[in-house]
């Protein structure tokens, strides 16, 4: 900044000359100071809180994100879980960047030489490319700040004159006296942030004050910040109180004896730096980065009160949660959103943030507080687990699971698998001329969930009892527990099995029942996953090519997987019955690790076929049962599909007749 000249002419009586002139150069930071002064002045006269439009904008964009999630539920679940918050974060980053960019451009455009003259009619302002005269009647009282003299006119315009441009102290007072003849000069209001009381002598009293402040802040009370007690001991007391709160509620629910839950303790401790970082980031936006402790105290107090509220809600009996219906699942997200909004408002009030700075508080809370909290806790913040809890022996279970999956990597298994496949094929008996036989191939594709292995084993047992075909069955199972007893399920293995079956079957009489159960993808790939191997999925075209190549004419193909309806059209034919557990664009249900059957497997095989119904009638009954169960559990209908060829219907009737 440079000062060219300051001319103050005196008359013979010693009075200030009526037309003193000031020449100076305005730099970027001076114009930014003027912009902020105008904003603060307008906000002081505003009729509604400045943070309200930001919260409204935030809610609108979160609603948009939630709507997108509902429309595309089940597709890209991980992305859509975080999508709404990320959408809000990106929007706010863009708005904040755009505002700063506009301010910077405006400030740079005003970097020029100024010449001010005080005249009886008004203020005369000249620049290199502009000249304007501001009448005194259009000007508001000037404001003195620690670094600038602020001149206001037309309610939304201002000029910030740096004190360095006024020369020494005597010259500054002379200029102010000259202007004071026509214009009032007042001290600029100090930031509206309420004072935070200093640390008191009683830590117990300080903790109580902070907890009461947390309740006030959660209720959006403006006087909540005035009750805060800021200090390191107070912060430690709040954190300790929250640990005791969680421990007490866990003991009440889990009972004694039990043990501490290391994962829950680690998640709590890992969340502390994020709270401090959110408080510091907000303080930094206010230019008070070294005074972030009150913000951290406010966030911790809010966290304690909201946690207490949630712990009280968790004591509601099971019947009460059931009575709430769908509303029960909305309680936690609603409380989390409420706490986020309360945190934003509290930080804005605590630091006296102006409008553009409040966006920083929103970003700090969303990106540095809410998202890490969701990621760290993962829905389970317990720090105490009772003896009867499933997680008590987590370490032992993890070791068992590690050893279980390591079975798939043993060298002996690699050499054992070809032997198992060959031995299984050698046990398959050839067909009896003149007597239709049912051959069965069961494929459990995904190794991560035991339900698929249980389902093909139970199906083989049922068909063996009904069709006496135990010597005409072969199972391919992907599961770490069965690698020593059953051949693994891969496209190569399935092709070899179908070739072997085709060689033993009587082409004109026998029927192959091929049962495939696993996960499925939207592009109609049947999953064949066995860690650590990379088995490609099975497509409808590949399966048809295998069956045609094996010379197997009469086929019953049941595919129990999501999107399995995509197998219907490619495999349908006069000699084929194709059944799928879902529509081509729908999920099927019941693929849980603990289950014995999937929804469709239970209804079609374990109920309908076990009752003695034929393959076609069993499907119609199973379709109704699956629809009823999905309706009761409020799931999207899977709508199982079937395509029955004319020739296969007669062949199946002949097969059933031989079992009478």
What pLDDT shows up at residue 19? 52
Residues 43-62 pLDDT 10s: 454 444 444 455 555 555 55
Query: Mean of the per-residue pLDDT values for the chain?
Result: 76
Across 162-166, 472-476, 484-488, 592-596, the highest mean pLDDT is recorded for 472-476
- Give residues with Cβ within 8 angstroms of 98, minimum separation 6: none
When mean pLDDT is compared across 163-167, 196-200, 540-544, 569-573, the lowest value belongs to: 196-200
What pLDDT shows up at residue 497? 95
- Give residues with Cβ within 8 angstroms of 155, minimum separation 6: 42, 140
Residues 106, 28: Cα–Cα separation, whole Å: 9
78 pLDDT more than 80: no
When mean pLDDT is compared across 17-21, 238-242, 525-529, 589-593, the lowest value belongs to: 17-21
Give yes or no for a contact between 428 and 437, defined as CB atoms under 8 angstroms apart: no
More confident residue, 177 or 147: 177
When mean pLDDT is compared across 3-12, 288-297, 370-379, 448-457, the lowest value belongs to: 3-12
Topology (CATH level 3) of domain 415-657: Rossmann fold (3.40.50)
- Give residues with Cβ within 8 angstroms of 18, minimum separation 6: 118, 119, 120
Q: Are strands 554-560 and 258-260 parallel, antiparallel or unpaired?
A: unpaired
Residues 8, 4: Cα–Cα separation, whole Å: 14
- Give residues with Cβ within 8 angstroms of 312, minimum separation 6: none
Work out the average pLDDT over 487-495: 93
- Give residues with Cβ within 8 angstroms of 503, minimum separation 6: none
What pLDDT shows up at residue 49? 45
What pLDDT shows up at residue 63? 52
What pLDDT shows up at residue 424? 93
User: What percent of the chain has a predicted confidence (pLDDT) above 70?
Assistant: 69
110 pLDDT more than 50: yes
- Give residues with Cβ within 8 angstroms of 168, minimum separation 6: none
194 pLDDT more than 60: no
Q: Where are the domains of the chain?
A: 3-187, 203-386, 415-657
473 pLDDT more than 90: yes
Q: Could you give the residue ranges of the DSSP H alpha helices within 352-385?
A: 355-365, 371-377
What pLDDT shows up at residue 447? 87
pTM above 0.75, yes or no: no
More confident residue, 266 or 643: 643
What pLDDT shows up at residue 510? 93
What pLDDT shows up at residue 248? 83
DSSP state of 529: B
96 pLDDT more than 70: no
11 pLDDT more than 50: no
Residues 502-519 pLDDT 10s: 999 998 999 999 999 999
146 pLDDT more than 80: no
Residues 599-639 pLDDT 10s: 999 999 999 999 988 999 999 999 999 999 999 988 889 99
What pLDDT shows up at residue 371? 66
What pLDDT shows up at residue 74? 44
Which residues, listed in sequence order, are joined to residue 143 by a DSSP beta bridge? Answer: 150, 186
Across 119-133, 267-281, 528-542, the highest mean pLDDT is recorded for 528-542
What pLDDT shows up at residue 311? 79
Q: Give the Cβ contact number of residue 603 at 10 Å.
A: 26
409 pLDDT more than 80: no
pLDDT band at 117 (very low <50, low <70, confident <90, very high): confident
Residues 185, 148: Cα–Cα separation, whole Å: 12
pLDDT band at 405 (very low <50, low <70, confident <90, very high): low
425 pLDDT more than 70: yes
CA dihedral 118, 121, 123, 129 (to 10 degrees): -110
When mean pLDDT is compared across 12-16, 91-95, 333-337, 420-424, the lowest value belongs to: 12-16
101 pLDDT more than 80: no
What pLDDT shows up at residue 539? 94
What pLDDT shows up at residue 657? 81
- Nearest Cα to Cα of residue 546 among 561, 557, 530, 535: 557
What pLDDT shows up at residue 72? 47
Q: What are phi and psi of 163, to 5 degrees?
A: -60, -30
Residues 43, 192: Cα–Cα separation, whole Å: 11
359 pLDDT more than 90: no
DSSP state of 51: T
CA dihedral 63, 68, 71, 74 (to 10 degrees): -120
Which residues, listed in sequence order, are joined to residue 160 by a DSSP beta bridge? Answer: 150
For the record, the structure tokens of 95 come out as 């708005």
Work out the average pLDDT over 63-74: 49
Work out the average pLDDT over 635-650: 93
């Amino acid at each position: 900044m440079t000062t060219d000249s300051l001319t103050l002419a005196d008359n013979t009586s010693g009075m200030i000359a009526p037309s003193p002139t000031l020449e100076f150069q305005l730099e970027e930071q001076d114009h930014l100071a003027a912009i902020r002064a105008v904003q603060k002045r307008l906000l002081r006269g505003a009729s509604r809180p400045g943070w309200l439009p930001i919260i409204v904008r935030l809610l609108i964009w979160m609603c948009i994100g939630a709507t997108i999630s509902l429309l595309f539920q089940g597709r890209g679940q991980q992305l859509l879980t975080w999508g709404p918050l990320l959408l809000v974060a990106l929007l706010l980053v863009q708005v904040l960047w755009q505002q700063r960019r506009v301010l910077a451009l405006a400030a740079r455009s005003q970097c020029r030489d100024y010449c001010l003259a005080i005249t009886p009619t008004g203020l005369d302002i000249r620049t290199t490319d502009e000249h304007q005269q501001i009448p005194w009647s259009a000007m508001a009282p000037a404001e003195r700040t620690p670094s600038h003299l602020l001149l206001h006119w037309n309610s939304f315009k201002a000029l910030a004159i740096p004190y360095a441009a006024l020369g020494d102290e005597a010259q500054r007072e002379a200029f102010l006296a000259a202007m004071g003849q026509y214009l009032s000069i007042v001290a600029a209001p100090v930031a509206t942030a309420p004072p935070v009381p200093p640390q008191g002598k009683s830590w117990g009293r300080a903790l109580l004050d902070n907890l009461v402040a947390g309740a006030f802040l959660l209720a959006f009370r403006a006087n909540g910040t005035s009750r805060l007690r800021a200090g390191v001991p107070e912060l430690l007391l709040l954190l300790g109180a929250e640990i005791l709160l969680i421990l007490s509620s866990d003991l009440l629910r889990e009972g004694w004896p039990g043990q501490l839950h290391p994962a829950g303790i680690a998640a709590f401790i890992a969340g502390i730096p994020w709270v401090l970082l959110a408080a510091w980031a907000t303080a930094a936006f206010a230019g008070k980065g070294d005074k972030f402790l009150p913000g951290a105290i406010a966030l911790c107090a809010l966290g304690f009160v909201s946690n207490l509220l949630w712990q009280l809600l968790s004591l509601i009996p099971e019947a009460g949660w059931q009575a709430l219906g769908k509303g029960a699942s909305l309680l936690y997200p609603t409380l989390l959103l409420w706490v986020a909004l309360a945190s934003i408002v509290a930080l804005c009030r605590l630091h006296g943030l102006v409008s553009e700075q409040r966006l920083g508080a929103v970003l700090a809370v969303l990106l540095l507080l809410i998202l890490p909290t969701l990621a760290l806790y993962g829905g389970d913040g317990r720090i105490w687990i009772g003896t009867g809890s499933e997680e008590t022996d987590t370490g032992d279970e993890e070791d068992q699971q590690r050893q279980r999956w390591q079975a798939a990597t043993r060298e002996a298994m690699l050499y054992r698998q070809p032997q198992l496949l060959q031995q299984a094929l050698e046990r398959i008996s050839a067909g009896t001329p003149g007597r239709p036989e049912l051959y069965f191939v069961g494929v459990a594709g995904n190794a991560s969930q035991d339900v698929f292995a249980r389902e093909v084993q139970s199906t083989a047992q049922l068909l063996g009892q009904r069709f006496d075909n135990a010597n005409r069955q072969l199972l391919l199972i992907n599961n770490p527990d069965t690698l020593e007893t059953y051949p693994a399920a891969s496209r190569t293995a399935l092709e070899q099995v179908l070739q072997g079956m085709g060689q033993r079957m009587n082409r004109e009489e026998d029927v192959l029942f091929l049962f495939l159960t696993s996960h499925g993808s939207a592009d109609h790939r049947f999953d064949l996953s066995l860690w650590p191997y990379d088995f490609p999925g099975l497509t409808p075209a590949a399966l048809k090519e295998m069956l045609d190549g094996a010379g197997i004419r009469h086929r019953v193909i049941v595919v129990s997987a999501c999107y399995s309806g995509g197998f219907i059209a490619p495999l349908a034919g006069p000699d084929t019955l194709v059944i799928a557990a879902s529509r081509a664009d729908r999920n099927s249900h019941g693929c849980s690790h603990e289950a014995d059957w999937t929804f469709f497997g239970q209804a079609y095989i374990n109920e309908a076929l076990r009752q003695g119904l034929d393959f076609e009638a069993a499907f119609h009954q199973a379709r109704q049962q699956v629809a009823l169960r999905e309706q009761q559990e409020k799931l999207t209908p899977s709508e199982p599909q079937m395509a029955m060829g004319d020739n296969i219907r007669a062949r199946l009737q002949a097969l059933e007749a031989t079992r009478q």
